[in-house]
Amino acid sequence: MSLLGRGKVAEAMRALEAELAGGPRAALDLDVLQLADLLRRRAERLRPKEEPERELLAAFPDAAGILGVYGAVRVANTALDGMAPGGRAAGRTPLEITRSHDLAEAARRALQGHTKRLELELPPGSRTFVAQLTPLLRGEVLMLLRDVTEARRAEQARRDFVANASHELRTPVAAIHGAAETLLAGALQDPEAARRFAEMIARQAERLARLTRDLLDLSRIESGQWTMQLGPVEVEQALRAAGDLVVPAAREKGVELRREEPSGLRVLADPRALEHVLVNLLDNAVKYTPRGGTVTLAAGQEGDRVVLSVADTGPGIDRQHLTRLFERFYRADPGRSRDQGGTGIGLALVKHLVQAQKGEVGVESGSQGSRFWVRLSQA
């Protein structure tokens, strides 16, 4: 205090307090400014050296830590702490944190100066991680553990999708190919056979067209290109329009189409998407219901929601299939679906479209038939 003098400090403090309380900017003496600078430099020196490292590690989206030269974690971010027993990674080895001997071995090699990258399941069979171990200066190692479970799952789904789609496309293409070759090989000379093969080509081409259309619709909605225009839709009108579209198929099949069209109900929906949903459900109901059966289209209010339903007197669906029915390409009865020209995509589309309209879709089924329902907000 001797150099600066008590008066100067007290004066500077008063001026700063006044400034912070909203007053004018404090004019500080040069000595006071120098003192402030010295205090700042000393605080910096006293700050633990882990602090900047911790700040850096916190910025990683992955679990991250620095392994000290003896192989234990010296600094960790919260994600790595979360993986460690007791919620604290510091002081523990990678083996103690993850129980993975592969990771322990990779860490040992990294401490010898080799960069290591490996994939692990932590705990085994649960989540997939990519571990990256990078030697740092001073003989330490930066360890990053990235959870890639979702990414791997998405890759697998994409691969399955391509495999399924190719399989679906191959069947009609092979049938068309076979029929055309048979025609060229001489069946053309036999009008009866020629007609049969030409019909087969037409049928399979129609199936191909349906499949490509469904695939396009699905990709459009999954990639967000099909934007919903939600607004009030008259339920009576929507049911009538959808029902009208399947009347010819029902008549041809000998299936009775019953319609309960309650007046006055309105739902919040996209008219085109809602029609797509109802037509898909009605199509299925007519397709899977044997001659002489009945398909009932109905709607009713449930609190502030409206439930639209399509019920049939068809064969019903075994319980074991119900949870997976809305997955793409999932069929409860693959033979029957293909015989009916099914693509296995219809219900996946229905689910996407209903969810995009902030609704829910479900099915109840038993030996008496199936009932698919769609629940939407009342408008």
Give residues in contact with ligand ADP (CB under 6 A).
284-285, 288, 312, 314-315, 317, 325, 330-333, 337, 342-348, 370
Token pair recorded at residue 290 = 């044997």
Least distance (Å) from ligand ADP to the CB of residue 350?
A: 7
- Name which of 172 and 344 has its Cβ closer to ligand ADP: 344
Beta strand 294-302 with 360-366 is: unpaired
- Bridge-partner residues for 256, per DSSP? 294
- Name which of 57 and 242 has its Cβ closer to ligand ADP: 242
First to last CA, the chain: 76
Beta strand 360-366 with 127-135 is: unpaired
Least distance (Å) from ligand ADP to the CB of residue 77?
A: 45
Kindly report the number of other CB atoms within 10 A of residue 255's CB atom: 23
Which contiguous run of DSSP H or E holds residue 75?
A: strand 73-76
- Name which of 84 and 242 has its Cβ closer to ligand ADP: 242
- Could you tell me which of 200, 33, 43, 65 has the C-alpha nearest to residue 144? 65
- Name which of 97 and 317 has its Cβ closer to ligand ADP: 317
Least distance (Å) from ligand ADP to the CB of residue 56?
A: 50
Beta strand 294-302 with 141-147 is: unpaired
Residue type, 351: K
- Name which of 103 and 353 has its Cβ closer to ligand ADP: 353
- Name which of 246 and 347 has its Cβ closer to ligand ADP: 347
Least distance (Å) from ligand ADP to the CB of residue 314?
A: 4
Least distance (Å) from ligand ADP to the CB of residue 215?
A: 12
- Name which of 88 and 210 has its Cβ closer to ligand ADP: 210
Least distance (Å) from ligand ADP to the CB of residue 178?
A: 23
- Cα–Cα distance for residue pair 369/10, rounded to 1 Å: 89
Which contiguous run of DSSP H or E holds residue 373?
A: strand 369-377
Alpha helices (H) along 223-270: 235-253
Contact 359, 373 (CB under 8 A): no
Alpha helices (H) along 87-190: 94-98, 101-111, 149-184
Token pair recorded at residue 182 = 């048979």
Using DSSP's 3-state secondary structure scheme, residue 120 falls into strand
- Name which of 342 and 359 has its Cβ closer to ligand ADP: 342
Least distance (Å) from ligand ADP to the CB of residue 54?
A: 52
Least distance (Å) from ligand ADP to the CB of residue 241?
A: 20
- Cα–Cα distance for residue pair 68/57, rounded to 1 Å: 15
